[in-house]
Structure formats: C-alpha cells, structure tokens
C-alpha cells in the first residue's frame, strides 16, 4: 500500500515540476529496508520498509519523507525554478546533497 502511495506522489510531483520552470527535474521512489537483529523465540523476522521521494535536478538531490513530499506537491507553483524548489525542500529540513 505505501509503495503505491509513494509512486503516486512521485508521479504527481514530477508532473507538476514538468509544468513549471523546473522542467527536467525528476521525482523517484527510494526504499530502505531494515530488520531487527533479534526477535522473540518462535516469531518470524519482520522487515520494515521506509519509502522516500528523491527530487533530482541533475545538480542536487533532495530526500523527502512521504509527508514532506505531499506537502511539496501542494506547494509547487508554475513559476518555481530549481533554486526555489530546493529552497523549499531545505525549508522542510529535508537533506539536500550536491551531485557534482
């Protein structure tokens, strides 16, 4: 279920970015899996999966939680350029890494 939500949000963000001055920016889904090191006797080993949305303009990558990504989706304006986009992402306290 969460993977479907993540894919839907990423597609919607990319569509909005394509209609703005951020054309060329991509939104993709990233997942991280983890399992506890110990489990009670007789219990199965659960796997926990966290989903993130990566926003990439070719020079920077921002990593958003699903909640942050939904907030960004509501905020994107047609006149936003990549600098404005990443300014907003940083304002959400989301990590942004330079790719060059």
Q: Tens of pLDDT along the chain (100 residues)?
A: 689 999 999 999 999 999 888 888 999 999 999 988 888 887 788 889 999 999 999 999 999 999 999 999 999 998 999 999 999 999 999 999 998 7
Q: How many beta carbons lie within 10 A of that of residue 72, not counting itself?
A: 23
Minimal CA–CA distance to 69: which of 49, 84, 89?
A: 89
| Confidence (pLDDT) at 1 | 65
Which residue blocks in the chain are alpha helix, DSSP H? 2-18, 66-75, 82-91
């Amino acid at each position: 279920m969460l993977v479907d939500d993540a894919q839907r949000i990423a597609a919607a963000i990319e569509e909005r970015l394509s209609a703005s001055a951020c054309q060329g920016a991509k939104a993709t889904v990233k997942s991280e899996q983890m399992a506890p090191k110990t489990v009670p006797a007789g219990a199965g080993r659960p796997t926990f999966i966290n989903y993130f949305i990566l926003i990439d303009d070719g020079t920077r990558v921002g990593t958003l939680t699903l909640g942050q990504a939904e907030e960004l989706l509501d905020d994107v304006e047609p006149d936003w350029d990549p600098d404005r986009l990443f300014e907003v992402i940083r304002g959400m306290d989301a990590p942004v890494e330079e790719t060059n």
